[in-house]
Structure 1
């Protein structure tokens, strides 16, 4: 009789496109979200937590490269045959929430939301299927003051989390201006217009000359391969190049150049007027071009938006994995999308919003050394006598009650060296030691583990020779002595 096959053990590995986040990473993200939430709240936005699951019908079809049912989202069919999916962003759920509860919500409705989103796309380096978004949106007003306000709030958020003025710029453009440019080109073929939009989207990579070639016959890329162009004549491509190169010495010059680029196009002139209004509001509120700038080169995501668009770009250099200096780039984007709620209500509802890429922003702060890759662990109360566990628990309770992070060692206490190794692995600043002798005398030993680590790293001990790494103090003075030691490293 054949032996039954053993069920293979599951592999202990993270699913493809996902990752695990440990203590310091989770703490860093939580701290950043708290800071951003404070700015959002100060601007009058209310928090909203919507469901992580929506119907596929409610989510709509807004992800790129979707050529099969439910592609791009993690979807399943419910018991009533309804297709459900994990949300791929925080904006589509907002449209559903607003349409569902609009009679009970104020108009305009100002909300912010933070949380994970999921995309069933091919993962790659730095590209995950689950990531955090941090959004703020105003629904129900067409006023350009709403768009300007979100740009100003975005600038404030960046400074609040630790990106100083001069290391970022919020760049602003308008989809209507581009529509006016396309109108000036006289392109009737929708497919050709889409080709032009895709070409414009490559401006930041290939520059004006590259766009000119791609709008015409084509160009050789860096690998030497020939990329076919759109096939436009020079006079047809000219309005696009005028648009992309219209950045002037200041906002007034840029806006004048844009007005010239759109010619007599009504939609184009409407877009320029929107940018003029926003520019005046930035100036009135004291947000200069060093913080928020009118910039026609902002072209990413234009297909999604119906009016102003903006992105926050970090302008400082970092060193990439190959040792090359490069700019960090965009960490946030947003704009006006007046047609999203219409899918539910049949009526156009104006809306504008922004999404901050939390993980990219954290990576930028790490790259600049503004967030430590390490965090301080808890104070560890060691166990010298397992029969006195109640005493150690009273000790750690007193530490926690005084606002200090602390824990009792819960492993096998037989080997004291292992307890200290555990404390080092936990990056603990201090270990508390109390054996039977210390307990009878009413004292504790306080071991300075930060100093111990420095002594282990330092070739010369001269710097530390006058400072003890362990203190014996009355148990009643334990907390005050701990605070004194911690203050040395504040």
Structure 2
């Protein structure tokens, strides 16, 4: 076969992924469960555009040391720079500022959609991915932060993660900010080094304390030989930062007290410790002790967080093909960002929220449910007489009118290929009506789940008539009733 020289190669851009019907269905069902949980807690939906003016995203951009500041940008015909949103929080801040007078305060909202990062792609690291956020804007008290953590726990259970297979961790950035003030990293002039420290600690689960220590100091070279510049802290300063990680105790109240005892030497650190003590009390009083845990290792990598920060972590472990344990880790997080909305307004507006990474959570749920039944596809109405395809289409329409997903086969192949097609569609059953059935006012339904004979073995109409595996012939008037019975058997 000769290939045309002018053909455009079919290739997927690096860092992006196609998603098929099964994944789309799973995402939709998971998003519906999350949405129901958020609405149960009194949140309302909001959708913002994928593009924002670049200056609306402000200085709080990911990966600032890379070209294009970590975002995909373009210049509009009016010479204004636009950027694809890198998260769903900055667009919310812009929306609230534009509509501040008409919104109820506190304003509870949720958003769902794709976000974009202009980052180096790698295994499991995509440039486009789905997030599902919930935020409360206009609530200054840490009761809102405690409620966010509790709702995150409820959300994980709503999508199918069992209690004990997850933990929502909460910390307070004011404690770490207080430590950085104490070691000389306060002020705007040290913002870059503070961010490097935050991102170093944020990698604790992946790199361990030795790797974090290297990033707090001169830097670290990874297995590929790439070097990441560190924060440049001396040994004493690095030790002071790492000491925060040792404050974890048996209960939330004990951990909060340790943090208050060890890291309240600055007013900011003391305020953070008191806020964690209050959150510990709210969690205990609402029955979330154990499901939500105060953990000093949580810092979050974005600089706009100003108080409590939190992460949802999956704790169950699975084994890879070589028997080595794998843990999914964080599937979402967030925190308080009291300065973000205030960038657009004369007054400061308190806000807190969290974001769920849909792709990672979906991958984890796929593992948890890998032994479950595959979701069924539509009932497929086969076409045996091409000149009577209208009759087959009418049967499919009758099923759909009764709320049963159904389609008429529209290809040009024979019985064997049509059965293979139904198999690939994961159809629970097929509907057959040849000339004999049509004359008698009947239809035949074959249960593909219960059928003992593989569709590939059926080559012609005569063989079908002789073997008739897991099938029933009924009057046309009973089509819907019989299809529902087959679906009910395999629900």
- Superposed structure 1 runs of 4+ greater than 6 Å apart: 216-229
Residues 61, 454 of structure 1: alpha-carbon distance in 2 compared, 3 angstrom cutoff:
farther
C-alpha displacement of 1:187: 4.9
Deviation, 1:208, is 4.6
> What SS does structure 1 have at the residue aligned with 2:309?
strand
Alignment of 1:138-153 (within 5 A): 138-153=136-151
Residue-by-residue CA offset, 1:210-251 (whole Å, 9 max, x unaligned): 6567657889988999998845254x4453233110001112
Q: Give 1:63 deviation, angstroms.
A: 2.8
Aligned equivalent of 2:363: 363
Matches within 5 A, 1:44-443: 44-67=42-65, 70-187=68-185, 190=190, 193=194, 196-208=197-209, 230=232, 232-234=234-236, 236-289=237-290, 291-301=291-301, 303-320=303-320, 323-369=323-369, 374-412=374-412, 415-443=414-442
SS, match of residue 70 in structure 2: coil
In structure 2, distance between residues paired with 1:272 and 1:154: 22
Distance 1:224 1:13 in 2: 29
Distance 1:121 1:216 in 2: 24
Judge conservation of contact 1:338–1:348 (CA < 8 Å) in 2.
yes
Point out the more displaced range, 270-279 or 183-192.
183-192
Which shifted more, 472-481 or 168-177? 472-481
**Partner in structure 1 of residue 463 of structure 2:** none
201-210 or 432-441, larger mean C-alpha shift: 201-210
5+ long unaligned stretches in structure 1: 1-5, 458-465
Contact 2:420-2:455 within 8 A present in 1 as well: no
Cα 1:73–1:228 change in 2 (3 A) is closer
Q: Is the 8 A contact 2:62 2:302 kept in 1?
A: no
TM-score (norm 1): 0.89
Distance 2:68 2:31 in 1: 31
The range that moved more, 120-129 or 362-371, is 362-371
Aligned to 1:470: 471
CA distances 1:66-122 after superposition (whole Å, capped 9, x unpaired): 347743222221111111122111111111101111011111111100011122222
Q: 1:206–1:19: structure 2 CA closer, same or farther, 3 Å change rule?
A: closer
Tell me the secondary structure at the aligned position of residue 261 of structure 1.
Answer: helix
Would you say the 8 A contact 1:195–1:230 is kept in 2?
no
Displacement, 1:149?
Answer: 0.8
Q: CA 1:10–1:372 in structure 2 vs 1: closer, same or farther (change >3 Å)?
A: farther
Report the more deviating stretch, 389-398 or 401-410.
389-398
SS of residue matched to 1:329 = strand
Cα pair distance change 1:16/1:395, threshold 3 Å: same
Do the aligned partners of residues 374 and 474 (structure 1) sit closer, same or farther apart at CA in structure 2, a change above 3 Å counting?
same
Q: Which residue of 1 aligns with 2:15?
A: 17
State the alpha-carbon separation in 1 of the partners of residues 58 and 49 from structure 2: 16
| CA distances 1:417-474 after superposition (whole Å, capped 9, x unpaired) | 22212211211111111111111112211112122367689xxxxxxxx994121222
- Match of 1:431, SS state, is strand
Q: CA RMSD in A?
A: 2.9
SS at match of 2:366: helix
Alignment partner, residue 464 of structure 2 = none
Q: Residues 342 and 199 from structure 1, CA distance in 2 versus in 1: closer, same or farther, beyond 3 angstroms?
A: same
Deviation at 1:406, TM superposition (A): 0.7
Tell me the SS of whatever aligns to 2:270: helix
The whole-number CA distance in structure 2 between the counterparts of 1:220 and 1:35 is 42
d(CA) in 1 for partners of 2:226, 2:130? 37
CA distance in 2, matches of 1:317, 1:467: 46
Deviates more, 1:38-47 or 1:322-331: 322-331
* Contact in 1 for aligned 2:419/2:455 (Cα 8 Å): no
CA contact (8 A) 2:317 2:326 kept: yes
Query: In the alignment, is the contact (CA less than 8 A) between 2:62 and 2:69 conserved in 1?
Result: no
Q: Counterpart of 2:317 in 1: which secondary structure?
A: strand
* Structure 1 contact 302–309 (Cα < 8 Å) conserved: no
Query: How many Å separate the matches in 1 of 2:97 and 2:72?
Result: 24
